[in-house]
Structure formats: C-alpha cells, structure tokens
Structure 1
Amino acid sequence: MARRILLITNCEYGQANVVLALAYELATRPNVRVAIASFKALEKRVVHLQMQLKDAGYASSNVSFHLLPGRGHIEAVGMTRLDTPHGTGVREALHSFRYAASMLLPWTESEYTAQLRTIEDIIHGYKPESAVVEWFHRAGQDVCKKLHLKLFVITPNSSKDLVGFRQPWGSGLWKYPAISSGYAYPLPVSKLAPNVFINSKLIINCLLSPIVRKSDRMRRSYNRNARPVLVDPRIQYFCPSTPSLDFPLVIPKNVMLCGPIVIQAHPVRMVDPQLADWLDQAPTILVNLGSHVTFDSSAIKQLVGGFRMLLRNHPNIQILWKLRPEGDVQQTLDEWVEKNADIQNRVHIEQWLQPEPLAILQHRNIICSVHHGGANSFFEAVSAGVPHIVLPVWYDTYDYATRVEWLGIGLWGSHQSAPKVSTLEFGQALLQVVGSKRFRDKARSLAQSCLQYTGRVQAADEVLKTLCA
C-alpha cells in the first residue's frame, strides 16, 4: 500500500520551489504518493512537475494537486513590485518593515477560516501519514497541529533567517546584519548600535502590531493550544543551508541543514536544443533577476551600460538574459541592439526560460550568475559552483548580497546605488568577477562542500524514516 504525504505551500515560486523539489524526490520513491495543496497560481507548476516525472520514467499520478481557496500570500500582504524596493540603512530598513507583521498571517478571518476548512477536508479525504508545510503557510501548520498529524516544516531561506534571533547572548541582535539593512559581515563597529536598533524595532513592531494580535486571536479561536512562535522546538525543520554557506550560527537540534534543496533539472539540450546550441558557442553570463523584480527603462539603460563595458573588454563572452520587456523597456533594448550591431548575436533575451534555471547554471559555459539575491537563486548558483553578482532590491536580498561577498563567491553589484543599478558600478563588478580565478575557485569549492548534504534527498529520507519508525 502506498505511503501518502501531504505538502502544503504558498504559491509564490520563491517559497514553493523547495516544496516542489521535495515533492519530486518523494514521488520517485517506491510506493509513495504526494499531494500538493496550494493556491491556483501554483497549479501549472505542479502540472510541469508531473511532466518532469513522466519524462524521467515515473508515474505522473504520483503527484496530485489540491486547490486552496483565496489569494496567494504576497497578494494578501498587499506588496507590489513597484512600492516594495528599498535602499539600505536605518531609515530605509524601518520603512520596509511596514509589511513585516502582515507577512506572518495576511489573510482576513474569513479567508483564513476557509483555508483551515479546506485543508481539514483534504487531510480527511487524502488520509496522509505525514505533512510537510512551507514555513510561511501558517494555516497548514495550524491544521496539522490540531489534528495531530506528523508535521515537518520546510523553508527556502538561510539558517540565519530561521534561527538568527534564537542565538545565545542575544547575538542575533548585534552580531549578524539586520534584515533590510545592507550591512556587511562581520558587522563594523560603527554599525553595531544601528543594527541593534533596527532589529529591536522589527521585534517591537511585530509584538505590538494589531495585525499580529488579530492573527493570534484567529489562531487561538481555531486551536486554543496554538502558540505564536516562528520556530516550534517540537517540530523538525528542513533548511537548504549548510554551515559553510551561512554566517556562524548555533543550530538547534530540530533544524536540519540539508544543503541546497533544488529540483532535478533535465539538461538544457533535452528541453531546448536551440538554446543549448547557443550556450555551446561561448562562455555565458546568466542574468535572472526574479519574477517579482520590475525594471523601468532607466534601470534597463544602466544594466545595458554595464553589459556593454563587459562585452567591449571580453569579445568572447555572451549574455543570456531572462527579461519580460514591457512598454518603453522594449524600445530601450531595441535601440541598444541597433546601435551595437556587433553584439546582436552575443545577447540572447528570453521572456521565459524553458529549462530549469539550475540546468542552465550547470551548463559548462556558464561563468557567472547575475541575480537579485533571492534565496533560490543563491542556492541554485551555489550548488552549480558558479560565481554570483547580486543586485539586491529588498529585505533578505541584501543579506544574500552580503553573504556572497563574505563567502568570496562573488560581488554585490550595486553597493552605492541599491535598490537601483549604476552602469559604472555594475560594469566594474562584471569585469572583476569574470576576470577573477579566485571567485571561480571559491564557488567550485563551496559546491563541492555541499555534496555531503544531499538537499531534497536528505529531506525526503527524513520524512520517510519517520513513517517506518
């Protein structure tokens, strides 16, 4: 008889990718069936996952999709691509915290109740033996706890995001860069007081927030034993980090560092032969700035200026750029190509990448990943052993820019201009990373260090081990 496991996640790719990776791994195991519960926007990704399983010789029916009612997490929070970007420092960090409290549980009482009822119905109908819930999906965790279903929690984020504030001697306040601050690590002495201030304001704002109080009331009305905690010591957490990939931290026993939790990626040639032919031509930089990051014409001009600096100095390099041009952005790109006929064949712009980004990063000709500092982008490039240039725009993306420089695997390409980009700064970062053997060697070394952590395999093993216990 097949073992049944329920995975519950928000629909945003940055949060759901680790869940999809785990779902793939579990679905390849003998006599295991997986159900994924999420919002409508994720359904097409689950269909794609089913196709990947079928292509790999497994039954697509090993994974099923169950629809949750209402709005996705980011839509419910009210964040938009236009008003969310922020700069660094105290004032900008505090301004960014206006969304912090609602991130914990952004739905109305009726929306939250509808989710609870739907998840209960899914559990009663599907009868899973255990569940794995994405960190920010509070309703999924609440239902599993109330029904006493064996529960694991999975996060796409670093261990610092998960347990930073649970460090001895209150070091989470003063030792590590505060989220949204953009501070370096190790923290300069001049930034100690501002760092403590930013972290304290975040904690106080959340504790005193009417949104948080309301969410606690909602959760306790559903389950009187509900506890207002982000990390529950009774639950096993899966984290894609490793000791080598994060700042030095004390990791609790209930947090498992699995290494990068990335989905199995079919080679580029299998998915998109034409793109594979193009990649085979020359050393390539992958530019993938995330689906939630929006650049206007002015920002595109700055990026283009940086690319021109690189291409003029390295005539053998080409650029693969994932970008969905809108409005005057397309006009800016057309003008760039027309004025620089010599680079027309060296810049390839795709609105959507058919292969998984990881598959592209694993191509032998990829020499650098330019990304916005999202957790998935960071861990994918790390696992592929590719140097980074990070162009952070908000929240923890600044942490990943700092982390990349501290680890010696790349550069923050917009120190002086974030959340925007300047041609000179970005161009110089490109030239430094592409021209440095040091970054390449360190990136490969870190990728090797991750091999002992098997990511989705390790998480799947742990889930299945408890079923056999």
Structure 2
Amino acid sequence: MARRSSTGAIVALIAVLLGLWWARSTQSSSTSSSPTAKDLIRGKNNTVLFLTTETHGLCNVHVATAFALAQRHPGTSVNYASFPALAKRIARTSALAAASRTDPQIEDNGSPLITFHALSGASYRDVVTNSTAYSGMSLIHGPGLAGAEGLCRVMDIGINGWQVDDHIAQYHSARAIMDAVDPSIVVVDVLLGPAYAAVRDARRAYAVLSPNTITGHTPAVQPLHTMLWKYSLIASGIPYPMKTPKQLLINLIYTYKMIRCAIAKASQDAQKLSVLQAAGLQSIVDVTAMYDPAAPFITQTLPGAHVDLLVVPDNFVMVGPVNLAGVEELLLVNDGAATLPPLLEWVRRGPTMLINMGSMYEFREPELRVMAAAIDVVLREVPGVQVLWKAKLAKDVVGPESRYFRDDEGLLASLCQEGQQNGRVKVEKWLEVEPPTLVLEENVVAYVHHGGAGAFNDALGAGIPHVVLPMWADLYDYATLVEYLDIGLWGCPETSPVWEVECLSSAFVEVLSGRGNETSSRGSIRRANAARFGEQAKKQVGRDVAAQEIARLASL
C-alpha cells in the first residue's frame, strides 16, 4: 500500500510538472495577441476609457478611480463603458465628482464629468446568474480537493462564459466605442473577456486595474518549483506557508486536478475561437493569457498585506484600498446637512459588528436562521455590542409552504426578534450608506464578510479585524490571508461553505475580543495588527494614487 501511494504521488508530481510547463508555454503562444509597446495605438491625449463589468465586486475599483480622475484631473477626459445596468451608478458618480471638487478655478460647463457608453450583449451578472446550465448559487463550492469540480465550474462560467452571439456583440461594441472615443489609454477589467480581447486585437494602449491582490495575478511569474512547496493554488484552502507533508501532497493532487481543468477550458476556448473567427473576431483571452507582462497592472494591494512573493513584476503598481470611502460624508459636510443618514446615526450609538456578504450572495431561509442564531449568541456573550446585518434575499428565499412566502419583511422581522426589538440588531436588505464609508466609523469594530477583494480591502483600510465566510474561488484565499496576516478569522473552516451556529458564533465572539481594557491576548494582537494596516492605508488614498497613475499613462 505504501509503495502504491508513493508511486501515485510520483506520477502526480510528473503530471503537475508537465502541466505547469504546458501552462507557461501556452502563454507565449496564446490565442490572444499581446502587442509590443512600440506597436500600440495611442489616441487622443489625456483621454481615458474604462471597460468593465457591471457587478459591484468587480467594478468598484474602476468606478472609484473614475471618480478620482474626474474630481482631481480636470484636464483628463473620462469615459466609462459597461453594461446598461451600471449607467445610473456612473451618472451618480459623475455628479459626486462634480459636487466634491474643491478647486474653485475649475469651471463647470454642465456636462457630465464621466461619459457613459453602453456595451451590447448579455451582462456579466446575466452570464453568471442566468446561465441555462447553472443558477447563481451554483457558484458555491468547497475549498481544496472537495471543491475542485466546483471551482472548475466557476472558471467555466466566469471566464469567457458568454454565449457566442453575446460574445460577438460585446466584442464589436467594445471596438466601436474605442473607435469613437479614441482613448490614449484603456483601463480594462480582465474578466470582461470579449472586450479585453477587443482591446488587444485593436492594439490599443491599455492598463489593467484589478480589485484583487498581487498574489492572485502573479503565480505564473514565480519560480516554477514554488508551485510545489510554497504557493498553493486558488481556492485550495491550505494555509500559507504550507508546512506539513500532508498539505504538500494535497496541494500536489489539487494542482494536478486544476491543470486538467485549465487544459479542458483552453480546449473549449479553442473550439469557440474557431466559431468567433468565422464571425470576424481575431482572438479570445483564455485562462492562460489573462496576465500580460507588457501592460501596466494596477492593484489595490496594500504593500505588505499579501503573502511573501519571490518575484514582484516591474509592471505592477500597488496603491492600497481603492473605494469611495468617506465620499458621502464629505458631501454631507460640504452641503451643510443638519442630519446624518439614519443608518449612520444608529451606528454611532455604540460598538457595531457589520455583516455584509457582498452583492452576489443571496440568503435563503436556512442560512438566515443559522446567522440569526449566531448573532443571538453574540448578544448574550458580548455586552454592549450591536449588529448591523445586510441580508440580501434570494427570490426563492422560502418555498410556497412557508408562512413567510412572499413576505420578506415578515421573514426579516422574525430574525433575532429580541435583538431587533431592543435596538441591538438592525437587519436591512440594502445599506443606505456604502460599506467603505460605514467601516470608517469609529464604532464599527469588526467586519464579517464573504472574502471579496472589496470587503477585504475596506476592512484593511479601516484597520478593523475580519471574519471571512468564503464560498467560492478566491474568497478562500482571502480567508487564509487574514489568518496569515493575523488580522482576522476564517469562520467555520471545517464546514465551509456551510455554516453552523457553533463555529459561526465562536468566530464572532472571538473577533470582538481585545477591545478597550479587555485582556484577551489573541484578540488584542489581532486588533493591533489590523490597526497598523489601517494606519498604513490612511497615508494615501488608493483611488487618488490609481487615478494619478492612469492620468500619467494617458498623457504619455
């Protein structure tokens, strides 16, 4: 048996090495062209075009940077292309930029500071949530070996998941917008696959702006051997650094499985490409070619808030958290508002734990009941703390047999009844104040979130500890990252993505420890570590740094 196991491990090792060699070799012969800098087309000077998805978790960094460009760089023409669902948000962001300009020398001609352009075809959310094969909840999978098939499914949906007609429509509309705007620099979202390919095919000068950490974008440039012993793959759930032979073996097998998945996905993309080329498209950006070493790459990574990297590519710029934190409050001050939004008034009553599972996750009744029971434990064991819970509900949150069928308000009122009645719990389907602004409130002492890049960086910038409840893909990487940095906890790691009351409440109570005169050494250390990152982040505003870099690129 031992010989068979060791033989299997050797076979897996050989397969992994061959797979890694294949992945790297395909980067140089990708189905998508990557022109050299001297061949790139630069259009009108000081003209920027953002090309992004419309989902909040992916485009928040782009929207915030567009705001900063419009607010602080009046000589730059700012254009934003996305799906129609984002149009109102861009209009509001443009108005916010105009209202918050502090330079009296800037003239207002009445035109929007950010010009919106609509992409054609199905949106990213449509692709993910309304696929004929999968529902939105199908994104959810476990970490590591148990979740490998689920991650492969997510890759299938989330990377070039558009049907052929929608792919073609998005590609051509992106090229038409680029021709009309003629930007000197295009700022792209790498998950907007057809538009990303259109940018490369048009040989436009471009930069990538990403919400994710530098770690997630640079595994291919690290020394090959580190993939076997230092860095685990996305969603492995293995702590960094790997320490035990068991972890190394699991990572080896997991890497082998994911390489097989990537090869299968590349084969599917190649088949799709032949159809697209027949329709006049030139290329497709597959999973092996999303990173372009020749393009400037701006990430909201805060230096030091990532795992140790042996190689940091020269084209990366780390700017720290990029969001619209404080913008709403800034406008209230400028407008001389006499009253704060009710939500801010409520938060300012006392120490608050914020629970926000992002824009993609939708609660169903079983998860609502588990979360509510865990909150009830917090109310009993942590005196003086209140809980603000954003609970976005699924359309089928309950079945027709439930007393709360088509009664969302009644369902929400049934959660944490005593806590809601005595004012210590507030349950909202949507937050009237954006989370980046909320977490800056001194009274917000902990943030429970899904592990999205935006939520992670919001908490990082605010200097407060996290509880991460990951459910898919790189959300698991943020769960292991908060524990590596010792600034938070992975809630329910043994049962993820499923929650149980005991492990959930235990994580909540633990993350709330170490405040004031409390003597919890672990909680105090964790809170101090988080505070140090917060102080570092406050030294510069990430959106302003990103905007400055893009303005520089636009003026070359």
Give the aligned residue type for 2:413.
D
Structure 1 range deviating more: 228-237 or 267-276: 267-276
Stretches of structure 1 lacking an aligned partner (at least 5 in a row): none
How far, CA to CA, are the matches of 1:95 and 1:412 in structure 2? 20
Equivalent residue, structure 2, for 1:214? 271
| Post-superposition offset of 1:314 | 2.3
How far, CA to CA, are the matches of 1:165 and 1:193 in structure 2? 20
User: Map of 1:266-345 to 2, 5 A cutoff?
Assistant: 266-267=327-328, 270=332, 272-325=340-393, 326-327=397-398, 328=404, 331=410, 333-338=412-417, 340=418, 344-345=422-423
| Post-superposition offset of 1:380 | 0.8
Give the aligned residue type for 2:120.
P
Give the aligned residue type for 1:394.
W
Contact 1:158 1:375 (8 Å CA) reproduced? yes
| Post-superposition offset of 1:394 | 1.1
Ranges of 4+ aligned residues in structure 1 off by more than 6 Å: 224-227
Contact 1:35 1:63 (8 Å CA) reproduced? yes
* DSSP-derived class of the 2:423 partner: helix
Q: Measured at CA, do residues 84 and 149 of structure 1 come closer, stay the same or move farther in structure 2, by a change above 3 Å?
A: closer
Equivalent residue, structure 2, for 1:177? 232
* DSSP-derived class of the 1:168 partner: coil
**Alignment length (residue pairs):** 468
Q: Measured at CA, do residues 389 and 48 of structure 1 come closer, stay the same or move farther in structure 2, by a change above 3 Å?
A: same
Contact 1:166 1:172 (8 Å CA) reproduced? no
Give the aligned residue type for 2:465.
P
* DSSP-derived class of the 2:218 partner: helix
Q: Measured at CA, do residues 455 and 219 of structure 1 come closer, stay the same or move farther in structure 2, by a change above 3 Å?
A: farther
Contact 1:265 1:356 (8 Å CA) reproduced? no
Give the aligned residue type for 1:195.
N
Q: State TM-score, norm by structure 2.
A: 0.78
| Post-superposition offset of 1:73 | 2.1
How far, CA to CA, are the matches of 1:97 and 1:313 in structure 2? 41
Instruction: Name which of 480, 483, 500 aligns with 1:405.
Output: 483
Equivalent residue, structure 1, for 2:450? 372
Equivalent residue, structure 2, for 1:71? 122
Q: Measured at CA, do residues 395 and 341 of structure 1 come closer, stay the same or move farther in structure 2, by a change above 3 Å?
A: closer
Contact 2:451 2:478 (8 Å CA) reproduced? yes
Work out which of the two has the higher radius of gyration on C-alpha atoms and give 1 or 2.
2
How far, CA to CA, are the matches of 2:513 and 2:535 in structure 1? 22
* DSSP-derived class of the 1:319 partner: strand
Give the aligned residue type for 1:91.
A
How far, CA to CA, are the matches of 2:430 and 2:85 in structure 1? 16
| Post-superposition offset of 1:167 | 0.9
How far, CA to CA, are the matches of 2:551 and 2:511 in structure 1? 42
Contact 2:51 2:81 (8 Å CA) reproduced? yes
Equivalent residue, structure 1, for 2:23? none
Q: State TM-score, norm by structure 1.
A: 0.92
Q: Measured at CA, do residues 115 and 47 of structure 1 come closer, stay the same or move farther in structure 2, by a change above 3 Å?
A: same
How far, CA to CA, are the matches of 2:228 and 2:57 in structure 1? 26
How far, CA to CA, are the matches of 1:111 and 1:224 in structure 2? 15
* DSSP-derived class of the 2:138 partner: coil
Equivalent residue, structure 2, for 1:44? 88
Give the aligned residue type for 2:123.
G
Give the aligned residue type for 2:66.
A
How far, CA to CA, are the matches of 2:196 and 2:459 in structure 1? 30
Q: Measured at CA, do residues 112 and 83 of structure 1 come closer, stay the same or move farther in structure 2, by a change above 3 Å?
A: closer
User: Map of 1:1-400 to 2, 5 A cutoff?
Assistant: 3-28=46-71, 29-57=73-101, 61-77=112-128, 78=131, 80-189=135-244, 190-209=246-265, 210-217=267-274, 222-223=281-282, 229-249=289-309, 250-267=311-328, 270=332, 272-325=340-393, 326-327=397-398, 328=404, 331=410, 333-338=412-417, 340=418, 344-400=422-478
Stretches of structure 2 lacking an aligned partner (at least 5 in a row): 1-43, 103-107, 333-338, 399-403, 515-523
CA deviations 1:226-259 (Å, max 9, x no partner) are 8861111111111111341111112111122221
How far, CA to CA, are the matches of 1:254 and 1:173 in structure 2? 25
- CA RMSD between the two structures: 2.5
| Post-superposition offset of 1:274 | 1.5
* DSSP-derived class of the 1:11 partner: coil
How far, CA to CA, are the matches of 1:378 and 1:421 in structure 2? 20
Contact 2:91 2:114 (8 Å CA) reproduced? no
| Post-superposition offset of 1:453 | 5.7
